[in-house]
Structure 1
Amino acid sequence: MKKTMTFILIILAAVFVTMSVKRSRDKEEAAESYNELKAEMFTEASEEIPDTAVDVEEIEPEAIALSDDERAMVDGVKRLQKDNGDVQGYIMILDSDIEKDRLCNAAMKDEGVVLQYPVYQRKGNDQEALDYYLHHNGKGERESYPGCIFGDGAIDEEGNYLFDLDSDGNHVIAGHNMSVHRNKKENWMFGSLRYYEEPEYLEEHKNLVLVTDETVKYFTIVSYYQAEADDDFYNIHPETPEALSKFLSDKTGMEIETDDSVTLVACDDDTSNDAGRRYVIAISE
């Protein structure tokens, strides 16, 4: 009997080690693939971008003037979209002392940019479409892990995004918690959201940037909390600035007034059956 139990324990240990090695390898491969996407995002950006402004070539009076730095990043998103039309934009979280006119160069060099990934969103209101990038990489190849950073996927009856990154509203962006240890190497994807438990970390990493194929949007991270996976962030989409402000104020216990926000969501732990979630909330500047 003891020999049988020992044999079973050896087998279980071997399976555990094999799975751990595979997961670690998956993380490394994912990190490498996202480094390639980062290179494509910034491939044509100059090391020395002049600080001058150019107008977006649009007739609409609300056209936004972009700096050359911002234009280079917008063009980068367009390059990513040529490879995959599901790319909605590019998200970055920064050290809070990075100036806007240094952002492009900082992102290229990973200087003060603690998180940067393309954001994907699959069209479709069925569960398969909503969960597509939980299990697929940016090339559309099916993987059980680690998937991509992705939007909430909601679309209207005509197939248009309800909350694309260019529109105002609450943008729910989710990603796997690819972390095991409090170690920078082990905190890819949204693993670093755990650090926002510490007020000091939030204060030093509160700048969030969304780059789309049209513009660059700036947000300030204001709150972090943990809740269940079925939190109503997934189901409630406030349609007015007043409703959005009230919704976020109720969630955070803070007085918030905004017409545009981002909610980042990751699993509470690095396990496939984890029911908890980490929520990081940012509002427009």
Structure 2
Amino acid sequence: MQIDSVTALAERQRIRSGAYAGQTAGLAPGHVQANLVILPADWAGDFLRFCQANPKPCPLLAVSEVGDPALPTLGKDIDIRTDVPLYRVFRDGEFVEEPTDVRALWRDDFVSFLIGCSFSFEEALLADRVPVRHIAMGRNVPMYRTGIPCVPAGRFKGELVVSMRPLTPRDAIRAIQITSRFPSVHGAPVHFGDPAAIGIRDIANPEFGEAVPVEPGEVPVFWACGVTPQVAIRNARPPIAITHSPGTMLITDLLNTQLAVL
């Protein structure tokens, strides 16, 4: 598999041009993808503390300078206003629109937070022949709201969101071992087995993403998810917030191998 920064840059340019607005799982193999939260500067301190208090769902990869859409530590020529396939806009905590470009909404006081994404450890799972069903089916990963409270910080609070991958017990053990090496992209699972034990009512109906079947002999395995901040935003009700649409990430020039902890 060829891995270079041109691949990631080419995908960002394709997204920026409007030629692609879908999910990013499997794009630019080998490259780190990131969840996004954009907030006004006077809300940024509280959100930074929320991420620090909840590193499993909110592992920070980068924070921008105030008003600057570039993220030089994550890649060449990144423009966070255009380089995510699909954004979500919240006003006073309410979801209002899902544009492909947020240049018209940009403000000089915006701060961007980029958060690690489980798409990075999926590559390591596949390399070790641990199957990832939503990729095999060409679907977005299923994501669920749980009853597990995050640690509140300032105005931000809410329940943990998790992503799910069904695995045999043998593959689940291996997946725990593999993903434990990637704490900056959510790390080891937070739960496996009975969904009701963490407050999930219906495994067949995820709140975000797309459902995948759990076959006989498999167990659902749940990882902390970078959609968690969107629940906290609804609760905090900032005047405006911009996030990625679940499953549509920023593709960075960083390599997944750079995030592994030996």
Normalised-by-shorter TM-score class: under 0.3
More helix by share: 1
Q: Which has the larger radius of gyration?
A: 1
Q: TM-score, normalising length from structure 1?
A: 0.20
